[in-house]
């Protein structure tokens, strides 16, 4: 994993991008219950989003809830460092962004060696920022939050990632939240066909040849991936047509 000078982009990019870190991000969670607590005006009307005394009532006791509109509910909240997980191209047009909290990597809860060796499936290591904005930590990709772009100071960004670090974050997001990047070495080939290592696709100096595998055999390691201590990501290729 990248942990040196190639991790943070200190040039302060003019545009927002995936991986940007902000302070004081509101991280809001519903209570650990199947029933929501509905916030209403004292006369029972839906809350008008103005400060004042409110009634907090279990949704089990109300009949006229969620009738064609959203309700305001009681939830727990905290503010802290968080990094944007939404793709860079989505940050301009979307009102809601996905973020992950940036937490301090404190021993013995987190083993720093394992963290920066990429051994945790849901944690993405974030080295200490060279300007001291935060110490060594990690993004907890198992705790993603949706926020509104208006809820943070867009001028308050304190860190951005280099393209190499962004690629590493993208790989970790895919590993933690999906399986879109293909099959790993030693996994069984589910369908005979032509495959290519999708990880190698991002590098210009790698000969990323198409390989044919038979159903039932096991995927091999990719020599190019092995050189950079990564596991291959074999993906089935389709005929070029509209999809």
Query: For 100-109, 159-168, 200-209, which range has the lowest pLDDT when averaged over its residues?
Result: 100-109
Query: For 71-85, 104-118, 151-165, which range has the lowest pLDDT when averaged over its residues?
Result: 104-118
Quickly count: other Cβ atoms within 10 Å of residue 135's Cβ.
12
CB 186 within 8 A of CB 213: no
Arithmetic mean of pLDDT over the chain: 91
User: Could you report the per-residue pLDDT of 182-241, keeping only the tens digit for each?
Assistant: 899 999 999 999 999 998 988 999 999 999 999 999 999 999 999 998 889 999 999 998
The top-level CATH class assigned to 21-29+75-177 is mainly beta
Measured CA to CA, the distance from residue 200 to residue 221 in angstroms comes to 12
- Give the per-residue pLDDT at 3: 59
171-185 mean pLDDT: 82
Q: Output the six-digit token pair for 166.
A: 């962004």
Hey, where are the domains in the chain?
21-29+75-177, 181-243
- Give the per-residue pLDDT at 69: 81
Measured CA to CA, the distance from residue 46 to residue 41 in angstroms comes to 6
- Give the per-residue pLDDT at 1: 58
CB 169 within 8 A of CB 19: yes
- Give the per-residue pLDDT at 2: 59
- Give the per-residue pLDDT at 107: 62
Confidence of residue 79 (pLDDT cuts 50, 70, 90): very high
Q: Tell me which residue has tokens 């279990």.
A: 58
């Amino acid at each position: 994993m990248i942990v040196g000078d190639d991790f943070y982009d200190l040039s302060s990019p003019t545009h927002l991008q995936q991986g940007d870190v902000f302070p004081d991000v509101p991280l809001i969670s519903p209570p650990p219950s199947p029933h929501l607590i509905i916030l209403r005006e004292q006369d029972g009307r839906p809350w008008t989003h103005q400060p004042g005394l409110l009634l907090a009532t279990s949704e089990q006791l109300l009949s006229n809830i969620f009738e064609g509109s959203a309700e305001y509910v009681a939830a727990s909240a905290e503010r802290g460092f968080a990094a944007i997980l939404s793709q860079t191209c989505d940050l301009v047009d979307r009102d809601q962004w996905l973020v992950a909290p940036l937490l301090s990597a404190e021993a013995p809860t987190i083993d720093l060696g394992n963290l920066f060796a990429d051994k945790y499936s849901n944690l993405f290591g974030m080295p200490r920022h060279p300007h001291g904005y935060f110490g060594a930590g990690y993004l907890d990709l198992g705790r993603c939050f949706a926020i509104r772009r208006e809820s943070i100071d867009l001028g308050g960004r304190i860190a951005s990632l280099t393209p190499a670090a962004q690629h590493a974050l993208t790989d970790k997001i895919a590993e933690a939240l999906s399986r879109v990047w293909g099959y790993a070495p030693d996994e069984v080939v589910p369908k005979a066909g032509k495959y290519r290592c999708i990880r190698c696709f991002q590098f210009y100096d790698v000969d990323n040849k198409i390989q044919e595998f038979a159903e039932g055999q096991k995927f091999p390691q990719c020599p190019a991936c092995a050189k950079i201590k990564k596991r291959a990501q074999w993906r089935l290729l389709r005929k070029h047509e509209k999809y």
